Amino acid sequence: MTASRPTTASVQALLEQHRQIEQIIGEIKEAILNHTTDCCAIAEKTKFLCRLLADHFRYEEEGGYFSEAVLVAPHLVERAKALESEHQSILDLLQSYCHKTCADGVDPQVWWATAKEAFLEFEKAIARHEHEENLLIQEAFLSDFGTKD
Measure the CA–CA gap between 123 and 120, rounded to whole angstroms. 5
Quick one: CA dihedral 10, 83, 121, 138, positive or negative?
Answer: negative
This prediction has a pTM of: 0.79
Q: What is the pLDDT of residues 23-76, one digit of tens each?
A: 999 999 999 888 878 777 888 898 899 999 999 898 888 876 677 778 888 888
Q: Work out the pLDDT band at 112, boundaries 50, 70, 90.
A: confident
Q: Work out the pLDDT band at 145, boundaries 50, 70, 90.
A: low
Measure the CA–CA gap between 104 and 137, rounded to whole angstroms. 42
Domain boundaries, the chain: 39-146
pLDDT of residue 149: 46
35 secondary structure, DSSP code: T
The overall average pLDDT reported for the chain is 81
